[in-house]
Amino acid sequence: MRKPAAPRPASRPRPSRSLLSSQIGQLSALTLIIFVVMAVLDPSRFLTLGNFSSMAFQFPEFAILSLAMMLSMMTGGIDLSIVGVSNLAAIVAALILSALAGPQAAGLAAGGTIALAVAAALLVGAVCGLFNGIAIGIFGLPPILATLGSGLVFTGLAVAVTGGSAVLGFPAAFAFLGNGAVFGVPMPLVIFVAIAAIVWLVLERTALGLRIQMLGTNPLAARFAGIDDLAVTLRTYVLSGLFAACAGLVIMSRANSAKADYGSSYLLLSILICVLGGINPYGGFGRVAGLVLAVLSLQFLSSGLNMLQVSNFAKELIWGALLLLVMVANGIQFRRKSR
C-alpha cells in the first residue's frame, strides 16, 4: 500500500515582481501627494531652501537604521536591537575621542583619533550583529525575542559605561560627519546614499543577496538547495550591526554627544519605513527604491507635522496607526496575489 505523500510545508505569501513594481508606483504617488499637501498647508515654511536642507540633515539618521532593519527583514527575521547597537557603538567612539583627543585636538592627532574611534564603533556594531546572528542561527532563538533581549543588553551596557549621562568633548573636525557638506550636499545624505547603494548591490548583484532572498522566501527549500542558512544569518546580522553603528556615528556627530537613549523613537520608525516601503514582513522580497521613497514620504509628513505644531506623542500615535494600516493592506495584497 502506497504511503500518503508528505504534506508540503506552507509557503509564505510573497509578492510578485509586478506587485513590487506597482508598490513602487503607489509609493511614488503617495510621496508626491504628501509633499503637495504639506506644501499647500504651509508653503511659506515648507517650500524653503532652509527646510529642505534641514530635512537632508535629519532623515539619514533613521534612514540608515531602516536599511539595517531591511536586511534582517529580508531573511524573514527582524532586528529590534539596532537602536541599542547604534548608541553603544557611538558611546565607545565618544569615549575614545574624549579620552585621546578632546575638544582642542586638531590636525593629524585629531584625524588619527577620529579614524580609530570610527573603526572601534564599526567593530562594536559588527560584534553586536554577530551576537544576534549566533543567538538566532546557532541557538535557534526567534529573531524578535533574540534581538529584543540583545537590544536591552546593549542599552544596559551603554548605561553602565556612562552612568546614564551623555559623553561630550570631541574634536571639532568630527562634527563634519553629521553637520558638514560636500559640494553643498549634506554629509549625512552622502553617507546614506553610499550605504543604500551598498545594500542594493548586495541584494541585487551578489550571491549573498540571492541567498538572503531565498532564505526569506522559503527556508526549507533554501536548505535543500544547499544554502548554508547559518552563514547567511551571521553575515546578514553583522551587516545590520555595521549599518546601525554608522547611524550611531551620524547621530553622535550631529548632537556632538553620545548617550544611551538617543533615537529611542527610531525603532518604530524604521519598522514602519520598511513595511511602507514594500519589504515583505515574511521575508524574501523588497527593494531599496521602495525604502527610499518611504523615507522621503515620512520625512515630508514629519516636517509638515512639526510646522503644524503637532506634538511628538501625537506623531508616534500616527506612526503606529499607519504601521498597522499598511501591514493590513500589504497582507491583503500578498494573499490575493499568492492565490
Q: Which domains does the chain have, with CATH numbers?
A: 53-327 (1.10.3470)
For the beta carbon of residue 305, count every other beta carbon within 10 angstroms.
17
**Cβ-contact 84, 132 below 8 angstroms:** no
More confident residue, 110 or 295: 295
Q: Is 251 helix (H, G, I), strand (E, B) or coil?
A: helix
> Any bridge partners for residue 182, and if so which?
185
pLDDT exceeds cutoff 60 at 42: yes
DSSP strand E in the chain: where?
181-182, 185-186
pLDDT exceeds cutoff 90 at 307: no
**Cβ-contact 80, 144 below 8 angstroms:** yes
Q: In terms of Cα–Cα distance, which of 100, 240, 119, 116 is closest to 169? A: 100
What's the whole-number average pLDDT of the chain? 89
More confident residue, 250 or 222: 250
Cα separation of 92 and 171, whole Å? 15
Cα separation of 79 and 177, whole Å? 25
> Any bridge partners for residue 226, and if so which?
none
Q: In terms of Cα–Cα distance, which of 194, 162, 200 is closest to 71? A: 200
Count Cα neighbours of 38 within 13 Å in the Cβ-side half-sphere.
26
pLDDT of residue 29: 87
3-state DSSP helix/strand/coil % of the chain, to nearest 5: 75, 0, 25
Residues 47-87 pLDDT 10s? 999 999 999 999 999 999 999 999 999 999 999 999 999 99
pLDDT of residue 77: 94
DSSP string, 99-160: HHT-TT--HHHHHHHHHHHHHHHHHHHHHHHHHHHHHHHTS---HHHHHHHHHHHHHHHHHH
pLDDT of residue 48: 93
Of the given ranges (39-43, 116-120, 203-207), which has the lowest mean pLDDT? Answer: 39-43
